[in-house]
Amino acid sequence: MNTKTKEYTSIQESNNFIDKVIQTDLREYPDITVHTRFPPEPNGYLHIGHAKSILLNFSLATQYKGICNLRFDDTNPDRENQEFINAIIEDVSWLLETDNFVIHYASDYFSTYLACARLLIDKGLAYVDFSSPEEVRLNRGTPTQQGIESTYRSTSIEENKRLFEKMVVGSYDDGECILRAKIDMAHPNIVMRDPPIYRIKKTSHPRQKDAWKIYPMYDFAHCLGDAMDNVTHSLCTLEFENNRPLYDWFLENTGHRRPFPKQTEFGRLSLNETVLSKRKLKRLVDEQKIDGWDDPRIYTLCGMRRRGFTPTGIRAFCKEIGTSRSNSQIAVQRLEECVRQELNMSATRVMCVLDPILLRITNYPEGQSEVFEVPNNPEDPSAGTHNVDFSGVLYIEREDGMVNAPKKYYRFSLGKEVRLKYAYYVTCTKIHQDENGDITSIEAVYDPQSRGGWTDDKRRVMGTVHWVSCQKARHCKVRKFNPLFTHEHPETLGEEFIDYLNKESIVLYEHSMIEEFAYKLADDVHLQFLRKGYCYKDKVQSTDSCTMYNITVSLKDSLKNRIFMS
Ligand code: ATP
Ligand code: MG
């Protein structure tokens, strides 16, 4: 069925408990091809938790020279749509840096699922139940109390066959009846108490359109989909552990080969300071609390991409946190650190003044300008150099000047000598303030002997600041992000998670000035704004005349930037 053999070369080898499961299986069944899948429901966008699952599945396939495909679990058309399908394909390709993977859809197997349901009815293992949804729920019992058998459980096979065909052609309304497996209403595992197989839904499907009036339940469709795809190792998150006996029951009773596919559960990833549940993310989007699914403050793959996170950084993070049999709650700073380490090696260094004031160098000849050749990345000499224009009127950061500064303040204060990065030493001679005492501009004199930002007289200049020449500066905007929530674990809150939104989650610098070189770079070049952070062009909010940059991560994991310590 699946002829495309894959090499997901961007993915490193995994090393986790699932490895051991596979190795044991390979010893017992040496002829199998290891086959995994990533099975998203197209009812939202993918997030960092999904990235963990994608990388786990694809890396195991790589490691065992097997196959992994993307399989959409598109069995509930109420919540699913083509926009989500397209976005998921784009995000998986971005994360893996390849589109060389096979895409399957559970909906392509709808006819097979139907045949399997008919087979169960024929075997007396499924029945049509007209109880109300409320009755079905109540009669399932509790962990300590066994369930109550439905009166429809004793309907004859022939009658069930007739009723089910009526369900198939749409003779009943939504919710009027369901097809249930006949297992055991006294089973200690509630999942096994006659679970639903098919429900009526007269909803158009993104791919099947109006062909179906009934749709299979997840538990039924998923294991059969795995079997259709020849999946050997079906990896899912821990909350499906109780569903494993049902997974096996459906396969055994529909005649699908054993011992594969086989379900193994692993721990879910949660991040501090944010929410990952699709339902909660959707609520943020629907109520316009954020700027869509790709808002850079949330940890969807498209949000992280827009913010400037890299696939390599995300892969390094998922590798670092590993996969185990328990759910993990990880500080978001660990993800940021992985991205930071990568950007440190790859980002192009430029100077951008976020909140500018003027610096006038009063002894620099009027009308003169010059050019400095500066490294694109000091960590990587092969990245080359570029030219930066210098003149007697520059922009510097407002926060780099201070009136009445303490002795250990090394930036602009009266009489202090400061290094303009790559350029000259300058000594502050005057600070202009407005009526509120805020600094509006600064004057200084430069030392022509210090060209390049150093002298050989061993003079110590402690402070170094970045700058942009007024003549050649370009206007831009910069956004810095703080956590979206003021609660460390908003995921653990119920619906009130929405009450903990951080009003200061975006800090916008509207009047920033950036060196000309940066403006000419391609849109997807990752930048480091010297002293300020790693930055990436926001494709949504940039205009032809003004670029919006997102600060991806700060240069250092500064403790004081954290709201929460963890
Ligand atoms: P959500 O809770 O965000 O709605 P989901 O599990 O319903 O997630 P699916 O589209 O069904 O979303 O997920 C596809 C695959 O990704 C599943 O195998 C699921 O187990 C896995 N997955 C989802 N969230 C996480 C997570 N936080 N950590 C690890 N794996 C996850
Ligand atoms: Mg799910």
What phi-psi label fits residue 231: left (phi over 0), alpha (psi between -120 and 50 degrees) or beta? beta
Is residue 402 exposed (0-12), middle (13-18) or buried (19+ Cβ within 10 Å)? middle
Distance of alpha carbon 47 from alpha carbon 318, whole angstroms: 12
Is-contact 139 132, C-beta < 8 A?
no
Q: Is 514 helix (H, G, I), strand (E, B) or coil?
A: strand
Helix, strand, coil abundance in the chain, percent, nearest 5? 35, 25, 40
Cα 132 to chain centroid, rounded: 40
pLDDT for the residue numbered 12: 52
Q: Cis link prior to 259 (omega < 30° from 0)?
A: yes
**pLDDT tens, 47-78?**
999 999 999 999 999 999 999 999 999 999 99
Ligand that lies nearest to the alpha carbon of residue 268, given by its number in the listed order: 1
Residue 491's alpha-carbon distances to 298, 329, 565, in angstroms, are 13, 11, 17
To the query of whether residue 370 is one of the catalytic residues in this protein, the response is no
448, two tokens: 């022509």
To the query of whether residue 407 is one of the catalytic residues in this protein, the response is no
Handedness of CA 291, 297, 301, 306 (dihedral sign): positive
Distance of alpha carbon 47 from alpha carbon 279, whole angstroms: 12
Q: Which of 244, 278, 297, 411 is catalytic?
A: 278
CA of 564 to the centre of ligand 2 (A): 30
Q: What does the DSSP 8-state code read for residue 18?
A: H
Q: What does the DSSP 8-state code read for residue 151?
A: G
pLDDT for the residue numbered 443: 98
Place of tokens 């006659």: 194
Is 278 close to ligand 1, i.e. is its CB under 6 Å away?
A: yes
Cα angle 453, 455, 456 (rounded to 5 degrees) comes to 145
Place of tokens 């011992």: 259
**pLDDT tens, 259-312?**
899 999 999 999 999 999 999 999 999 999 999 999 999 999 999 999 999 999
High-pLDDT (> 90) share of the chain, %: 95
Task: Say if residue 8's pLDDT is above 80.
Answer: no
Task: Say if residue 557's pLDDT is above 90.
Answer: no
**Beta strands in 295-379, from DSSP E residues, in sequence order:** 328-330, 348-350, 352-353, 356-361, 369-375
pLDDT for the residue numbered 258: 80
Distance of alpha carbon 392 from alpha carbon 346, whole angstroms: 32
557, two tokens: 């994991």
Is 62 close to ligand 1, i.e. is its CB under 6 Å away?
A: no
pLDDT for the residue numbered 9: 44
Radius of gyration for the alpha carbons in the chain, expressed in angstroms and rounded: 30
Distance of alpha carbon 344 from alpha carbon 369, whole angstroms: 31
Is-contact 453 423, C-beta < 8 A?
yes
To the query of whether residue 268 is one of the catalytic residues in this protein, the response is yes
Banded pLDDT at 14 (limits 50, 70, 90) = low
Pocket test for ligand 1, best of 237, 274, 277 (most atoms within 8 A of CB): 237
pLDDT for the residue numbered 10: 46
**Number of helices (H) and strands (E), helices first, in the chain?**
13, 27
Which amino acid belongs to residue 432? H
Task: Compute the mean pLDDT over every residue in the chain, rounded to the nearest whole number.
Answer: 95
| Residues in contact with 498: Cβ distance below 8 Å, sequence separation at least 6, in sequence order | 283, 284, 287, 289
Banded pLDDT at 257 (limits 50, 70, 90) = confident
Banded pLDDT at 558 (limits 50, 70, 90) = low
CA of 73 to the centre of ligand 2 (A): 8
Distance of alpha carbon 303 from alpha carbon 36, whole angstroms: 27
Ligand that lies nearest to the alpha carbon of residue 226, given by its number in the listed order: 1
Is-contact 210 204, C-beta < 8 A?
yes
Q: Which of 294, 362, 368, 298 is nearest to 335 (CA)?
A: 298
465, two tokens: 């600041």
* Segment holding 37, helix H or strand E: strand 35-38
Cα angle 237, 243, 247 (rounded to 5 degrees) comes to 105
Q: Which of 161, 268, 539, 562 is catalytic?
A: 268
User: For strand 126-129 and strand 102-105, is the pairing parallel, antiparallel, or unpaired?
Assistant: unpaired
* Segment holding 513, helix H or strand E: strand 506-514
Task: Say if residue 2's pLDDT is above 50.
Answer: no
Residue 322's alpha-carbon distances to 183, 313, 460, 478, 511, in angstroms, are 37, 14, 47, 34, 42
Pocket test for ligand 1, best of 41, 48, 52, 53 (most atoms within 8 A of CB): 53
Cα angle 435, 437, 438 (rounded to 5 degrees) comes to 105
Is 269 close to ligand 1, i.e. is its CB under 6 Å away?
A: yes
User: For strand 439-446 and strand 425-433, is the pairing parallel, antiparallel, or unpaired?
Assistant: antiparallel
The residue-averaged pLDDT of 323-331 equals 95
**pLDDT tens, 75-134?**
999 999 999 999 999 999 999 999 999 999 999 999 999 999 999 999 999 999 999 999
